[in-house]
Amino acid sequence: MNSILQPLKQGEQYAFEVDLSICTGCKGCVTACQNLNGLTPAESWRTVGVVESKSGDISQTITTSCHHCLDPACLKGCPVRAYQKDAVTGIVKHLDDQCIGCQYCILACPYDAPKWIPELGIVRKCDMCTDRLEVGEETACQQGCPNDAISIVTKSEAQIKMPSSAMKLPTQVSPEFTFPSTGYINGQVSTDSKSLNEERTAEKGHLPLVLMLVLSQFSVGLWGLSLFLEAQAFLSQVSLAILLAGLASSVFHLGKPLKSFKAFLGLSSSHLSREVLFFGTYAPLVIVTLLLGQFVALEVLPPFTLKLLMPLRMIALITGLLGVYSSAKLYQITSRPYWKGDKALLGFPLSGLILSSAFALTFSGPAEQRLLLPIILIGSLLWTVLEVQRNNNTKGLLLASSKLMSGSLKGYWILQQTFLWFCGILLPIYLLQVEFKSSLAIFTFYGLLGATFTERYLFFKAGLGYRMPIGEAG
Amino acid sequence: MNLITKIQNLFLQTNGPLTQTLAKKTGPNDLGLVPHQPTQTTSLVCGYCSVGCNLQVHQKADKAINLSPEKTHPVNMGKACPKGWQALAPVVADDRAKYPLVKNEKGQFQQTSWEKALDLFHSKLKGVTGDNGLAQAAFLSTGQITTEEMALLGSLAKFGLGIIQGDGNTRQCMATSAVAYKQSFGFDAPPFSYDDLRESDVLVFIGANPCINHPILWKHVVQNPHNPKIIVLDPRNTKTAQAATKRYPLKAKSDLLLLYGIAKVLVDQNLIDEDYIAKNTKGFSEFKSFLEEIDLAEVAKITGIKKEDILALPLTIAQGKRVSFWWTMGVNQGHQAVLTAQAIINLALMTGNMGRVGTGANSITGQCNAMGSRLFSNTTNLLGGHDFARPDHRKKIAQILKIEESKIPQKASLAYDQILDQIEAGEIKFLWVIATNPFHSWIDPEKLQRMREKLDFLVVQDLYSDTVTALAADLFLPAAGWGEKEGVMINSERRLSKVNPVSNIKVQAKTDFEIFLEIAKKFQLGWVTEAFSNPEQAFATLQKITENQPCDISGIAGYKEIESSGGIQWPKAKGNGEQKRLFEDGKYYHKDQKAAFLFGEPTAPPNQTSDNFPYVLLTGRGSSTQWHTGTRTDRSPILKKISPKEIYVEIPPAQAKELGIIEGDLVQVASPRGAITAMALLTNQVKLGEVFIPMHFAEVNQLLDPVFDVSSRQPSYKYTPVRITAQKSL
């Protein structure tokens, strides 16, 4: 391929290797990446972090970029197949014109390699300066390093998988998660070293996703209830309205909404594609079933088609549920500890069920059944309190998440509790004492709705991702 | 695009406009693959620090679009620090000052024309000028403009405008080295070449952190093929200290005593070069008897360095064949800074580590053109390293500039702090500040505020009208920056390099050179325009001035030779080649050609720690991505992103634990002069009893006492007793 690189043998790939003993953390690599790749003014695909050595007297600076993993999480998660692992070089490339700007790769990558470029509405990342390697030039970061601490080496799959070659850095995801190829040599740090100058701040809130998730789950819940309750027409119509609002808001999340039609391409590996597919099927099915009766009444369709109504409704429900499952799954399979376990997998369907039952009870059910509402509320309250308890007793990123909840995100946590307590319990009790009115249940419903939106916002804000050490102080 | 591609793109688009924005092509002049398709390049020396890296600016139809370090330049060999890579950002920043500004009655800046601005300058300066032609005025300049501009300013102000008091921000960084060299060698002459970093077998760094502050110098150390021993004397465990083969974490400002301790051991164990001492130096016997008084046990106690470690250091030096000593601000900014620098020079002299490859007592300079300022600013020295007090020197300069000899003051200007004193005392009423930000950077910012109240008129000349200093101005003159003008800068190893215009000035700014010339015209000073008609001609004038001086550059064939050679190290007299390394013949610049051993009683810093203020605060550069007061580096989006955002204080973890402070806590740092709030950063880069705050945040200087070295008048930024209190316990 070129003079400075060893030719690749079968099963080998190119990889970064950093000699930590000569990295001084000057950040020349960070700026060289910006200059030599023609990136936007604040963009760089490299970062430099600091970790304290075991002995405590070396502040080990660590330059990092994409690790061109054997099993890249970005690639698997991408709904439009915008990531490719080059069959020959092993370089993980991002196809900028294919990207729809969903940013799921940013949530999926445990090393913070893909960078969101708001000016362009897409994600970009390191391609190991493939074009430079092809003509025998050094990568931008190599050109930027005064001490030649960065090299490009060849590594076999077996070498990358060898536990001894794994990065020994603090707060890291297990290397088996993606098998990163970067080698850090001659360092004096270990997995229990202290990551310096690294105060974790909240992640992005992704408001459109908050709306989309809560509303789609609410919609599926209502749809399910509508199959069994008397007020079927009303509930199913509301279900559709909410769903459309949710799906519409999800488009605002995308950097390139016009390309969103590509989002099903990653079906074979991306839960996001599956989510798109399921909700993309659920929505028309809901519409069709709602219109079917009308069409028959208008004699556009023959009466026997009504027989299809129930099966279609059931199919819609199943696709809706699968959509909710995919939503939950796509977060749960990332490496973010906060999203692990039942946080999304149970939390998403449950919130749909809670909101829809509260809605049904409030707006369509018999008045006396509304007494069930406080039970739902107390359940929700208990859930939130238990969760705080649970996170406080943890280590690492989960602990950092719960610290955020009691730190910079405390306001949102209090808001969530306020919704539940005030709107949900205190206000109705007070009003009950004044005069029992069926409309009072509305407050309970709004309390739950507000609390769910806040909870989902916190889901993103406190859902800290793993990443390479950072730290700005030199 | 054919239909098939269009359909394919609907599914998988591997190319397109977004991909193309990152497409690179092979650029001209060996650039290799680069973005934005430049059509030509221009090389120029970087305008940040004194290393003097050469940068190749990529241009497209006269527009500067990008840059990369010059691949073959001997100083940086294709490398640059982050500031260098981002050197264009501050020039093309949207918030450049766009026109002259004048304060109205409401205290707000108002746009004005150059004509009116210069008229105002003229009338205000006239207003404070007496019948004797002397103005109650001063200028504060910089190490950041070109040599020609410095010389023009110094000549115009002192010989033309009657502004005989002037100093530069170089007082804050290099005054100590300048005085130390001048007294020891007979001329302010850093003797080294960067090659010495690559050729030494023992490198001793004292109060220097090149890993972060001069990354490209450190590159030379990394490439040293002799597996050198690297000794670092620094109170902080800096990145450079961490890279040392042996580090000496001495207590803050005990450096002078430690250096004397080392000298004593060298003498006692007869590890000195008697031959070199006898042939090339003077004052050694006095120094020797002075050292007799030094008690190693006490040195160990005061410096906090174990006696066996103190004993080991002279051995390492003696075993080295080519030992070089390197210092910078840790030494220069102290209460006995000149003596400390001279103690280092003494070590080099007594071990014969001078004038040979890989040796030297070497001061690493701070700013890109501090050396230009030292030689040509016409403040402390008469132009070209001459002496205001010497009639023959005054006569020579008067003849070259075609002015009356009487126009040349017979004394050097007052130093920075003394000028400020005079302003406060009401003696100086007009101040002209050029390309520096004293309201942030000076050790006593409160004094600047008091001074502002006393001043009748403050003129600030800079790229940006939003610096704290510019905001205090009555008149603001927008200046062109690096990359918009032509001239010469002189780096740490005395290398003259060119800056060149690579970017058209898009605002109403003028180069400092043009501004000075227009002021000269306003004051009808014909000789100025004659001697300094344009930068290249001004350079020729300076060449003539240096004839027969140690810094003789008369042998350089103008700008052309500087550009084609990749820079020239002074001296280069007529008929001689350039001199990479000074004193190879053992001849120094004193009349007797001998270097002097200079020394003095070490004293404790004037402000001692107490129960109330138990910790020592050190300040300095905090990162490689920030420069000085951040007026330029803050304008690069990427530098800003990777730099610390808020003021922080480095505290050793053990000390923080005692104080009940955890990482990220807001703490109060208080000195007898004031208190500030900073974020706690727990790190063993500082040791027990000491804390560190970077200088890039304006607040920190409020804490410091205005303590100065007596002979260099350089402020001591490295020793302030403070108290640390957790904000929550206040």
Of A69, A84, A91, the C-alpha closest to A179 is A69
- When pLDDT is cut at 50, 70 and 90, the band that residue A385 belongs to is confident
Q: 179-218 in B: which are within 8 Å (CB) of A?
A: 211-212, 215-216, 218
Residue A384 is predicted with a pLDDT of 77
Backbone angles phi, psi at A282, to 5 degrees: -60, -45
Q: B8 vs chain A: nearest CA distance in angstroms? A: 11
Burial class (CB in 10 A: 0-12, 13-18, 19+), A172: buried
Chain B residues closer than 8 Å to A472 by CB = 623, 642-645
B683 to chain A: which residues are within 8 Å by CB? 52, 59, 196-197
φ, ψ for residue A28 (rounded to 5)?
A: -60, -35
> What are the backbone dihedrals phi and psi of residue B42, each rounded to the nearest 5 degrees, phi first?
-130, 135
A133 touches A7 (CB < 8 A):
no
- Most B CBs within 10 Å, among A3, A30, A35, A200, to test the B interface: A35
Scan residues 547-566 of B and list those with Cβ closer than 8 Å to A.
none
Which chain B residues are closer than 8 Å to A44 by Cβ?
Answer: 638, 641-642
Q: Provide the token pair at A379.
A: 């359940």
Q: Which of B60, B66, B85, B666 to mutate to test the interface with A (most CBs of A within 10 A)?
A: B85
For residue B328, give both structure tokens: 């910078």
Across B213-343, the runs of DSSP E, i.e. the strands, are 229-233, 246-248, 281-282, 323-327
Q: Report the residue from B22, B33, B212 with minimal CB separation from A26.
A: B212
Residues of B in contact with A59 (CB under 8 A): 239, 242, 683-685
CA A300/CA A294 separation, integer angstroms: 9
Tell me if B218 and A44 make a contact (CB, 8 A cut-off): no
Which residues on A lie below 8 Å from B663 (Cβ)? 199
Region of A183 please: left (phi>0), alpha (psi -120 to 50) or beta.
beta
- Cross-strand bridge partners of residue B675: B670
CB A469 within 8 A of CB A62: yes
Chain B residues in contact with A137 by the CB 8 A cut-off are: 32-33
The pLDDT-based confidence of A2 (bands split at 50, 70, 90) is very low
Confidence of residue B647 (pLDDT cuts 50, 70, 90): very high
Contacts of B82 in chain A (CB under 8 A): 26-28, 30-31
> Cβ separation of A28 and B215 shorter than 8 Å?
yes
- Chain A within 8 Å of B648 (Cβ-Cβ)? yes
The CA distances from residue B517 to A136, A262, B153, B529, B606, in Å, are: 50, 64, 9, 7, 45
User: What is the pLDDT, as a whole number, of residue B124?
Assistant: 98
Q: Give the mean model confidence (pLDDT) for residues A304-320.
A: 92
The dihedral sign for the CA sequence B693, B697, B703, B709: positive
- For A259, the closest chain B residue by CA position comes to B10
- B33:A131 CB<8 A: yes
Q: Which of B150, B80, B64 is nearest to B512 (CA)?
A: B150
CB B697 within 8 A of CB B437: no
For strand B690-694 and strand B615-620, is the pairing parallel, antiparallel, or unpaired?
parallel
**Contact: A38, B66; criterion CB under 8 Å:** yes
Cβ atoms of B8 and B2 within 8 Å: the answer is no
Is the pLDDT reported for residue B21 higher than 90? yes
**Residue A294: pLDDT band by 50, 70, 90 thresholds?**
confident
Q: CB–CB of B688/A56 below 8 Å?
A: no
Per DSSP, the residues of B355-390 read: SSTT-EEEEPP-BTTHHHHHHHSSSSSBTTTB-TT-
Mean pLDDT lowest among A67-71, A360-364, B105-109, B270-274: A360-364
Instruction: Answer yes or no: are the C-beta atoms of B456 and B429 closer than 8 Å.
Output: yes
Instruction: Measure in Å the smallest separation between the Cα of B134 and chain A Cα atoms.
Output: 47
Q: Which phi and psi angles does B392 have, rounded to 5°?
A: -65, -35
Strands ordered across the beta sheet of B63-69: B40-45, B54-60, B63-69
Chain B partners of A124 at a C-beta cutoff of 8 Å? 22
Between chain A and chain B, the number of residue pairs with CB atoms below 8 A apart is 173
**Alpha helices (runs of H) in A393-474, residue ranges in sequence order:** 396-406, 410-418, 427-434, 441-461
Whole-angstrom Cα Rg for chain A: 26
| Secondary structure letter of residue A426 according to DSSP | I
The pLDDT confidence band at residue A472, using thresholds 50, 70 and 90, is low
pLDDT digits (tens, 9 = 90+) for B445-488: 889 999 999 999 999 999 999 999 999 999 999 999 999 999 99
Q: How far apart are CA A391 and CA A454, in angstroms?
A: 18
Select from A210, A117, A249, A270 the least CA-distant residue to A460. A210
pLDDT tens for each residue of A171-196: 788 999 999 999 999 988 877 777 66
- The minimal CB distance from B648 to the residues A25, A145, A473 is found for A473
Instruction: For residue A9, name the pLDDT band (cuts at 50, 70, 90).
Output: confident
Determine whether the interchain pair B624/A26 forms a contact, defined as Cβ–Cβ distance below 8 Å. yes
Yes or no: say if A423 and A398 are a contact pair by the CB < 8 Å rule: no
The confidence band for A221, taking pLDDT boundaries of 50, 70 and 90, is very high
Q: Which amino acid is at B72?
A: T
pLDDT of residue A471: 63
Give pairs for B453-456: CB < 8 Å, separation 24+.
B454/B423, B454/B424, B454/B426, B454/B429, B455/B423, B455/B428, B455/B429, B455/B430, B455/B431, B456/B124, B456/B127, B456/B128, B456/B429, B456/B430
Could you tell me how many helices (H) and strands (E) chain A has, helices first?
17, 9
pLDDT band at A198 (very low <50, low <70, confident <90, very high): low
User: In this complex, do B211 and A145 lie within 8 Å of one another by their Cβ atoms?
Assistant: no
Residue of A nearest to B75 (CA): A146
Chain B hits for A54, CB-CB cut-off 8 Å, are none
Averaged pLDDT for residues B349-363: 98
Distance of CA B492 to CAs A138, B75, B236, B655, Å? Answer: 29, 11, 24, 38
CB contact under 8 A, B85 and A473: no
Q: What is the mean pLDDT of chain B?
A: 96
Task: Tell me what ipTM this predicted complex has.
Answer: 0.95
* CB-based contacts of A266, cutoff 8 Å, min separation 6: A77, A78, A79, A80, A81, A272, A273
- Rounded to 10 degrees, the C-alpha dihedral B10/B14/B18/B21 comes to -150
- Which residues, including other chains, have CB under 8 Å from residue A469's CB and lie 6 or more apart? A49, A50, A51, A62, A64, A169, A170, A171, A195, A196, A198
Q: How many helices (H) and strands (E) does chain B have?
A: 30, 28
Closest alpha carbon to A443 in A416, A421, A412: A421
> Which chain A residue's Cα is nearest to B665?
A199
Q: Would you state the pLDDT for residue A474?
A: 41
Asked if B527 and B408 count as a contact pair (C-beta separation under 8 A), the reply is no
pLDDT of amino acid A394? 77
Q: Which of B38, B94, B86 is nearest to B465 (CA)?
A: B94
> Would you state the pLDDT for residue A287?
95
Q: What confidence score (pLDDT) does residue A437 get? A: 57
How many whole angstroms separate alpha carbon B491 and alpha carbon B192?
Answer: 11
Nearest to A42 among B19, B638, B645 (CB): B638
Task: Output the six-digit token pair for B369.
Answer: 């053109």
Does residue A470 have a pLDDT over 80? no
- Which residues of B fall within a CB distance of 8 Å from A4? none
Contact B638 A265 (CB under 8 A): no
Q: What pLDDT does residue B507 have? A: 87
Instruction: Report pLDDT digits (tens) over B372-423.
Output: 999 999 999 999 999 999 999 999 999 999 999 999 999 999 999 999 999 9
**B562 phi, psi to nearest 5 deg:** -60, -45
Nearest CA in chain B to A31: B82
Tell if the CB–CB gap between B684 and A120 is shorter than 8 Å.
no
- pLDDT tens-digit map of B133-177: 999 999 999 999 999 999 999 999 999 999 999 999 999 999 999
CA terminus-to-terminus distance, chain B: 69
